[in-house]
Amino acid sequence: STQIDCWSDGLGYVSRLFTPAVITDSWVEDRIKPREMLFLYCDAYGIPQPPEDRGHDVADGRRYVAEVRRERVEEQSGKDFSKDPITYFVDQAKYFLFPNHHPFWGEGSPRWFNFKPMGRDPDASVMEFRTLLPIPKSGVVPPPPEPFHLKLGERMKDKAPASFGRS
């Protein structure tokens, strides 16, 4: 379901990746009902399971996830996000900025990553990955967390803080 675009703006090339979320992939859509897909998504992203009357079609499942995320971000930041579209809270839109910076748009995937060379070795690089949180409504920004490093074969979920990647 991911769409990838690449075009020239006359000065260089622009690359964009867009992945709609809280939808069933086309290769399993005949076997997984929208509500089942919503339960799996909520479980994977730490979102409360929907009440019985929610998520029986894809549009309502997406609305449910967007509502939960919007409420969380509004509570954390003290800002009104009621005019932002569902896609801002649910989908993943990633841009590529030369040479190796990859920001994501919206609260659906509030992160960015960057690849940096390791010395002069063309077969090695360092991937820097950051999850972004809203500025608290108090305006007091917490100190940055300690970075952690993964070696080949290690899993991020085994080394990251418990709150890492939860929306």
Q: What is the pLDDT along the chain (167 residues), one digit of tens a residue?
A: 789 999 888 887 888 999 999 998 888 888 999 999 999 999 998 999 999 999 999 999 999 999 999 999 999 889 999 999 999 999 999 988 777 788 888 888 888 888 888 889 888 888 888 888 888 889 898 888 788 888 888 887 787 766 554 44
Q: Which two tokens stand for residue 12?
A: 């260089």
Confidence at residue 163, expressed as pLDDT on a 0 to 100 scale: 56
CB-CB contact of 63 with 86 (8 Å):
yes
Q: Which two tokens stand for residue 54?
A: 């929610």
Confidence at residue 25, expressed as pLDDT on a 0 to 100 scale: 83
Distance of CA 48 to CAs 33, 38, 74, 84, 133, Å? 18, 10, 17, 21, 19
Helices 58-77 and 34-45: crossing angle, nearest 10°? 20
Confidence at residue 52, expressed as pLDDT on a 0 to 100 scale: 96
Residue 5, classified by CB atoms within 10 Å of its CB into exposed (0-12), middle (13-18) or buried (19+), is: exposed
Strand order in the sheet with 111-118: 3-8, 13-19, 92-96, 101-105, 111-118, 121-131
* Angle at the Cα of 34 from the Cα atoms of 29 and 35, rounded to 5 degrees: 140
Confidence at residue 162, expressed as pLDDT on a 0 to 100 scale: 63
Confidence at residue 118, expressed as pLDDT on a 0 to 100 scale: 84
Residue 93 has a CB neighbour count (10 Å cut-off) of 18
* Calpha distance 78→17 (Å, rounded): 30
Confidence at residue 99, expressed as pLDDT on a 0 to 100 scale: 72
3-class secondary-structure state, position 18? strand
Confidence at residue 167, expressed as pLDDT on a 0 to 100 scale: 40
Confidence at residue 166, expressed as pLDDT on a 0 to 100 scale: 44
